[in-house]
Amino acid sequence: MSAVRVRFAPSPTGELHIGGARTALFNYLFVRKNGGTMVLRIDDTDLERSRSDYIDKLLNVLRWLNLDWDEGPYYQSKRLEVYMEEAERLLAESKAYRCYCSVEDLSAGREAARRENKPYLYPGNCRNLSPEREEALQKEGRVPVLRLFAPDEGTTVVRDLIRGEVNFENALLDDFIIIKSNGLPTYNFASVVDDLKLNITHVIRAEEHLSNTPRQQICAVSLGYNLPQYAHVPMILAPDRSKLSKRHGATSVEEFYSEGYLPEALLNYLALLGWSPGGDEEILPLDTIINRFTLERVNKTAAIYDVNKLTWINSHYMREYDLDKLAEEALPFFQQKNLVNPPLSDQDYEYFKQVIATARERAKTMVELADVSDYFFSEQFVYDEKGVQKHFLKIHSWYRADSLLLKFCHYRSVKEHVNEDII
């Protein structure tokens, strides 16, 4: 395989969700398996919704997941001259044209199509305007968009590395906009120009973008460049097979971090969402996943989100994690509960590590780890009032008192044992 170049191209309009993180991971696995280059591109031409703080969060999340990139980040908002230059070339080569249709004209067409229960296609009103007509429309103050001449017959074939050949009838693809009236490129145009200019060989992305691919191929052909190879990974659905949303639990990577999941566990779980390693293994270190990863093993059917499975995988990693590394990851969660106050002395840090070594068998996340470790940082014995009411008040008072005392002594002995280990 010649030099492989992939790109991960998120839009900074929100936090990175698990679907986007899985796309980044699949690109990472593919490029590391094939010794290529991973490019990070920020698709921020939606100026109204893009925010710099989302970019910062995105970069921090990718670093936390250890999904390192080789080039970039490239920002589309800083490459507007490149898109306009390519659009002007298409215009000069009569492969694109200026469209002066008003919003009202287009809205009327969409309403008519809706009444007839048909998809709306731009009818090509401005395809063959004379120079005199264009001048008259400009004098009216109309600001044009640029549309690409699209073929109106035949078929555009998308050769997808996961789904095989997917055919799209050109009659259902209208002359789509490549430059908006505000001078900004559309997604389909900017994405294609960047893929071509950055020499991207493989575009690995979510299934929802498959419908964009025929337009992007038409753009690439018009620009005179070779097509990249496309691979569209399956959707991630909720357990009830509905669209995944916040009501199904945490969906952004930041939420998983704040709830105390380890990056290795999250990557392990995301790899299994739509990809099969072969065999029954479910605990797979990243190096193993890289060695086994192929696009041929990516499923065509939707993956089902299962937070319980993720939590089980996380509990395994917590038990097997290097103790020093786990302590480093866990420290912020203990600090949030006011159990520790960094910086810790050497003796306090050793005590902290021994607490984690003792308690991690009972925890599935680092939030739980801090919760079950509360006793080791308190001089007061805390017990469950409801548990006392349920289990102790029905027996003799002397037995109840002895049981509570025994339980208290047990916890004290565990705490003293931990202290003895670090002295």
Which tens digit of pLDDT belongs to each residue from 68-109? 999 999 999 999 999 999 999 999 999 999 999 998 889 988
Catalytic (active site) residue 407: no
Q: Which two tokens stand for residue 80?
A: 């507007």
Q: Beta strands of 149-244 (E only): which ranges? A: 155-160, 164-169, 177-179, 202-206, 229-233, 236-237
Closest CA to 37 of 84, 2, 87, 81: 2
Using the predicted structure, report yes or no on whether residue 1 has a pLDDT greater than 80: no
Binning pLDDT at 50, 70 and 90, where does residue 417 land? low
Report the distance separating Cα 317 and Cα 401, nearest Å: 39
Q: What is the pLDDT of residues 143-169, one digit of tens each?
A: 999 999 999 999 999 999 999 999 999
Residue 311 pLDDT greater than 90, yes or no: yes
Query: Could you say which of 78, 243, 246, 325 is catalytic?
Result: 246
C-alpha–C-alpha distance, residues 381 and 411, integer Å: 9
Torsion angle of the four alpha carbons 296, 301, 307, 313, in this order, in degrees rounded to the nearest 10:
-20
Rounded alpha-carbon distances, angstroms, from residue 394 to 386, 390, 402: 13, 8, 14
Burial class (CB in 10 A: 0-12, 13-18, 19+), 320: exposed
- Under 8 Å between Cβ of 83 and 189: yes
pLDDT in tens, 170-213: 999 999 999 999 999 999 999 999 999 999 999 999 999 999 99
Report the DSSP beta bridge partners of residue 206.
233
Distance CA 204, CA 182 (A): 30
Q: Where are the domains of the chain?
A: 246-374
Task: Tell me the pLDDT band of 408, cut-offs 50, 70 and 90.
Answer: very low
In Å, what is the CA distance from 91 to each residue of 127, 130, 151, 179, 196?
12, 15, 16, 11, 18
From CA 202, how far away is CA 215, in angstroms rounded? 17
CATH architecture of 246-374: Orthogonal Bundle (1.10)
- Is the pLDDT at 400 greater than 50? The verdict is no
Q: Worst-scoring range by mean pLDDT, 30-34, 176-180, 236-240, 417-421?
A: 417-421
Query: Cis omega (within 30 of 0) on the bond before 144?
Result: no
Residue 386: pLDDT over 90: no
Q: In terms of Cα–Cα distance, which of 30, 69, 32 is closest to 295?
A: 30
Please answer whether residues 102 and 108 qualify as being in contact, where contact means their C-beta atoms are separated by less than 8 angstroms.
no
- Please tell me the predicted confidence (pLDDT) of residue 407: 45
The reported pLDDT for the residue numbered 71 is 97
Say if residue 55's pLDDT is above 70: yes
